[in-house]
Amino acid sequence: MDSADYKYYMAAKRVKKIKGFYVHLLVYIVINIFLIGANANEFVRGNSEFWRFETFSTALFWGVGLFAHGFSIFGRNIYFGKEWEERKIKQLMEAEKNQKWE
């Protein structure tokens, strides 16, 4: 694999990660609109109280996970950042290159 192929592979891999995040975001929005809307409907009917923790708990906790997902893709990861990935990839490629097959 030459340098251009490797760069293409890494770019395609990153695009897949970004696409995965946007799909996650879309599902988060749709599901939470449905859940909060269902609670709002119950509130309008007088069957429940709308401003409860339970109404927004799914959005809150899932939002924390979504934030972590987004930060892992777009944010700066101190311990396993881009430099670490590059070093590790080169190390593994070098190890495979030096491995003798019989």
pLDDT in tens, 51-89: 889 889 999 999 999 999 998 888 765 566 667 777 778
What 21-26 contacts at long range (C-beta under 8 Å, 24+ apart), as own/partner pairs, is 21/69, 21/70, 21/73, 21/74, 24/66, 24/69, 25/66, 25/70
pTM: 0.69
Report d(CA 81, CA 102) in Å as an integer: 36
Is 23 a residue whose pLDDT tops 70?
yes
- Planar angle of CA 52, 33, 35, nearest 5 degrees: 50
